[in-house]
């Protein structure tokens, strides 16, 4: 339950909070938990009626969902609200009938139970999260961070998502399917890893980096570098570079008025045409449309 609070409350746009996060339940007040502390929840289900996004968090007991909760979720869906779940919260959305005919994911340990209980839902257990129209579902606990960052990026752009990712000190790279790559900054790491080489590469994204260049910096053979890179990031070195370059292009499109050719050059994507192909494939928007949607520059009058 702390994940949406951590991510969404940390987002600021022009120095002001981008989200108003409220926790609600069917019966507000003190609530027992299975953990080491109990909860006090101030808001009842009237908060759902006022929300733009309604997120159901996970929990061990997902069998006896109060009817009032299901009805509140159905009303939110009918009103066009964005719905999301973390971990086993997908069971609640499914119980409300909101995942029928949709793709979804949930905690992998509960996948077989979910399939038997909700056969009309197309379950995808091997991804971090699923976006199907206005309904979002995430896999296990940590995947909720990836989902929330994805939602922030969709709402406010890459720069805002990366800023809150730095505050959360999330994992370096979390690939969960082609459209789900979460380009997070690299936290401080200790021990023997390729963090120094990745940081070195991030400072040189505008330069033509090869596997040999990366291997030389890491003092590894190309074969060893590739093996270690995939073990630490889940990606090959060149895939990781491409993701970082696309992310750099997104930030430049959001924060500057640089011409497209210069954005492409500074992000290491080559030409404006090449950048257009990569960005369209990744986020479904051309560079011009992305800049129009997510620019952080004041309007000229």
Task: Give the active site residues.
Answer: 87
Residue-wise burial string across 109-121, b where 16 or more C-beta atoms lie within 10 A, e elsewhere: ebbeebeeebeeb
Locus of tokens 């954005």: 263
Residue 15, burial from CB neighbour count under 10 angstroms (0-12, 13-18, 19+): exposed
| Angstrom distance (rounded) from CA 86 to CA 95 | 15
| Angstrom distance (rounded) from CA 265 to CA 268 | 5
Of the candidates 159, 180, 163, 130, the residue with the CA atom closest to the CA atom of residue 7: 163
Task: Provide the residue count of the chain.
Answer: 301
Residue-wise burial string across 264-284, b where 16 or more C-beta atoms lie within 10 A, e elsewhere: bbbbbbeebeebbebbeebbe
Segment (H or E) for 238: helix 237-255
How far are the Cα atoms of 33, 203, 270 from residue 77, in angstroms, in the given order?
Answer: 28, 44, 43
């Amino acid at each position: 339950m702390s994940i949406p609070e951590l991510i969404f409350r940390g987002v600021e746009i022009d120095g002001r909070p981008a989200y108003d996060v409220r926790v609600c339940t069917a019966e507000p007040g003190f609530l027992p938990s299975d953990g080491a502390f109990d909860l006090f929840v101030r808001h009842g289900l009237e908060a759902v009626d006022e929300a733009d996004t309604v997120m159901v968090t996970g929990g061990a007991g997902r069998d006896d969902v109060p009817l009032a909760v299901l009805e509140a979720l159905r009303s939110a869906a009918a009103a066009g609200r964005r719905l999301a779940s973390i971990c086993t919260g997908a069971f609640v959305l499914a119980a409300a009938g909101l995942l029928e005919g949709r793709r979804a994911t949930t905690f992998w340990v509960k996948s077989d139970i979910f399939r038997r209980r909700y056969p009309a839902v197309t379950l995808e257990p091997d991804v971090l999260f699923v976006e199907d129209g206005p309904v979002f579902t995430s896999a296990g606990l940590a995947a909720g961070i990836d989902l929330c960052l994805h939602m922030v990026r969709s709402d406010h752009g890459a720069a805002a998502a990366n800023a809150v990712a730095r505050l959360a000190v999330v994992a370096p790279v979390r690939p969960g399917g082609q459209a789900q790559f979460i380009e997070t900054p690299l936290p401080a790491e200790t021990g023997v890893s390729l963090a120094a080489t990745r940081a070195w590469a991030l400072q040189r994204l505008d330069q033509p980096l090869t596997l040999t260049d990366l291997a030389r910096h890491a003092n590894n053979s190309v074969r060893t570098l590739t093996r270690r890179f995939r073990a630490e990031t889940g990606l090959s070195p060149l895939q990781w570079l491409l993701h970082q370059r696309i992310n750099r292009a997104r930030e430049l499109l959001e924060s500057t008025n640089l011409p497209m050719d210069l954005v492409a050059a500074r992000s290491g994507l080559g030409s404006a045409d090449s950048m257009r192909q990569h960005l369209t494939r990744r986020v479904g928007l051309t560079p011009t449309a992305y800049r129009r949607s997510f620019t952080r520059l004041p309007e000229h009058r």
